[in-house]
Amino acid sequence: MNHDFDAIVIGAGHAGCEAGLALARLGNKTLLLCLNLDSIGFLACNPSIGGTAKGHLVCEIDALGGEMGINTDKTIIQLRMLNRGKGVAVHSLRAQTDKIDYHTQMKFTLENQQNLKIKQAEVVEIISDGKVVLGVRTAQGELFHSKVVVVATGVYLKSKIIIGEYTRASGPNGFACANELTQSLLDLGFTIKRLKTGTPARINKNSIDFSKLEVQKGEDDIQSFSFKTKTKPKNKDVCYLTYTTEETAKIIQDNIHLSPLYSGMIEGVGPRYCPSIEDKIMRFKDKSRHQVFLEPEALSTNEIYVQGVSSSLPVSVQQKFYKTIIGLENVEIMRDAYAIEYDAIDATELKPTLESKKIAGLFFAGQVNGTSGYEEAAAQGIIAGINGDCFLKNKKPLILKRSQAYIGVLIDDIVTKPTNEPYRMMTSRAEYRLILRQDNADLRLTEIGREYGLVDDERYAIYQEKKANLVLAEALLQTKLKVDEISPLFIQKGESVPNRSITVKEAIKRNNITAFDIKQAFGIFDGFSADIIELINTNVKYEGYIVQQYDEIEKNRKQEEMLIPENFDFLSISGIKTEAKQKLDKIRPRTIGQASRISGVSPADISVLIILVKTFKKENK
């Protein structure tokens, strides 16, 4: 193998896959190094993609030219839209995917990607001259040279599996871990922190009493993850809902002293929003039961994922309490639940491009940055890949704003706000979530993906067709409807009949009338896809709120775009608190807007900073 490359990606999880594909598709000779080729695109925990806010990320990755949405649509077992009872801004796609097929399809895509070489090897050292990255060294002694390195090691850095008192150096699912690379990162000056996550047991489908469970069906004919998917994915299986019992809680409470989480054996901090069953039972003692979802791992296996019951209790305790869950009285555990600890860096040591502030050309993406979730990882992976290409070609890097994408919110958060626990994307983190919906991700980001070279002709043609159809459909909103025409529909829907002709837009603004009703009653939107009609309906219904959010974005635009010079000396400025100066110096924000989001920096500090930055720029013209 030729040992000289333009870029090297360490790790082939969801971040590594997107980074490697982006770099290769942009014409760079790329090497993807992976501990085990069988772990490429591996769904180590829940065999699902999407969910609240995470579905938004997948659609954005797709709009930029990424692969996760395409691969998910290929391998769907069940597809649903979460939060139907809430506002459209928080509607979130979630797919139960075929775990085995997802890996197989992603591996096939990588193997057949031009400019991309894949090799199974453990990286033990990142080589640099102290300022610029030069390549990597593997455990086998090979040296690979490159100008860009993307670290996407997931949860494999010095990872340790924990079940009761049993511990073993291991990655997820028994895959090997990387024990030496952490020291290389420490030698380069990175701060290392210890984090933790966990996963529930996998059980035998044939040992479940399904007669006691509630069926959870998928939805047909709804939006897919990829805007390139031409045929709507079909639901192939169902999931089930069940509950823990008071006996479940009693067994866990009686054995809580055996939990590594409570005995102090686990050092890492786990995700607050994905607690173990031990945490749920101990923190919410007033609850008589907790939801449990039983979800198929793949169509070619009987393994069922027990969502909501992750644990690190000893195997003997697991075998007892799993049998107290309704429908699991005779359950056969095929894989025990476990916790996993691993090393991660402090992402505030990165630029908003995900490039290291210390070593030029060295990028980080995924759970190594202290995030949790496949979708968050993939989102960082595609941005690291694009910006790695920009670094190689001396192009302007891609930094998505918080008003442009959930990806922008994600990256701005992790590089600005230090966290002690794995970061998870949620809709509540996005200030402009009514604008940043799943259904318009392509309208927001495809042009950007095209500008940076990742959106191919096929994808761009689909985008242009959708955009043109949307313009045509919007023109129909001004169509006049006479009173005698609309009366039957309005009476049927419980709306007061107007005393004059009204436009289609005015009709849709009524609470109980939708664009789909208008199509059915008058045929006005005939010929347009359901996606276009849904967009029209949302844009009209929420027009006032959408305008408010755009006004707010414009109001904050000056601060968001006011650049802080790279050589600005934060420690020497007067008029702001010492704590604020130290935090500004540590994060070294790129803009005033980013500075304003740093914990410990007050609005008064920002006012002083704006004046000083303006003065600095004048004096250094």
Q: Which residues contact 121 (CB under 8 A, 6 or more apart)?
A: 33, 34, 35, 138, 139, 140, 142
Tokens standing for residue 542: 């929420």
Rounded to whole angstroms, the Cα distance separating 612 from 621 reads 14
pLDDT for the residue numbered 231: 87
**Strand-pair category, 48-50 with 92-97:** antiparallel
In a domain, 458, yes or no: no
164, 27: one domain: yes
Helices (H) and strands (E) in the chain, counts: 21, 22
183 and 161 co-located in one domain: yes
141 and 211 fall within a common domain:
no
Task: Tell me the per-residue pLDDT of 540-551, one tens digit each, with 9 for 90 and over.
Answer: 999 999 999 999
Average pLDDT over residues 180-192: 97
The rounded distance, in Å, linking the Cα atoms of 324 and 245 is: 6
Query: Does residue 269 carry a pLDDT above 80?
Result: no
- For residues 90 and 228, the answer to whether their CB atoms sit within 8 Å is no
Query: With bands split at pLDDT 50, 70 and 90, how would you rate the model's confidence at 261?
Result: confident
The pTM of the full predicted model, rounded to 2 decimals, is: 0.94
- The CA distance from 127 to 99, in Å, is 35
Residue 252 inside a domain? The answer is: yes
Q: Is residue 468 part of a domain?
A: no
Residue 2 has pLDDT above 70, yes or no: no
pLDDT in tens, 310-364: 999 999 999 999 999 999 999 999 999 999 999 999 999 999 999 999 999 999 9
* Domain limit, last residue, from 338, 359, 383: 338
Q: In whole angstroms, give the CA distance from residue 594 to residue 248.
A: 46
Residue 221's pLDDT is what? Answer: 82
For the chain, the domain total comes to 4
In a domain, 230, yes or no: yes
- Amino acid 232: pLDDT: 85
Q: Which CATH number goes with the domain that contains 378?
A: 3.50.50.60
Domain co-membership, 57 together with 151: yes
Mean pLDDT for 91-111 is: 97
Domain boundary among 317, 338, 359: 338
Spatial CA neighbour of 388 closest among 190, 133, 156, 183: 133
Contact between 146 and 7 under an 8 Å Cβ cutoff? The reply is yes
395 with 350, same domain? yes
The sheet carrying 76-82 orders its strands as 48-50, 92-97, 76-82
User: Residue 600 is part of a domain; what is its CATH number?
Assistant: 1.10.150.570
**E strand residue ranges, 15-170:** 30-34, 48-50, 76-82, 92-97, 116-120, 123-128, 133-138, 143-145, 148-151, 160-163, 166-169
Residues 352 and 320 in one domain: no
Whether residue 557 lies inside any domain: the answer is no
Residue 555 lies in a domain: no
pLDDT at 1: 59
Q: What is the residue range of 510's domain?
A: 475-545
Domain with residue 490: its CATH number is 1.10.10.1800
Residues 321 and 246 in one domain: yes
Q: Are residues 243 and 377 in the same domain?
A: no
Copy the structure tokens of residue 546. 């959408």
296, 186: one domain: no
> Residues 53, 128: one domain?
yes
CATH number of the domain at 281, please: 2.40.30.260
For the CA atoms of the chain, what is the radius of gyration?
A: 26
Task: Find tokens 């020291």 and name the residue.
Answer: 183
Question: If you ran DSSP here, which 8-state letter would residue 356 be given?
Answer: B
Interhelix angle 441-451/457-475, rounded to 10 degrees, is 140
- Average model confidence (pLDDT) for the chain? 94
Judge whether 528 and 74 are in contact, CB under 8 Å.
Answer: no
Same domain membership, residue 251 and residue 170: no
pLDDT in tens, 428-458: 999 999 999 999 999 999 999 999 999 999 9
Judgement on whether residues 26 and 164 belong to the same structural domain of the protein: yes
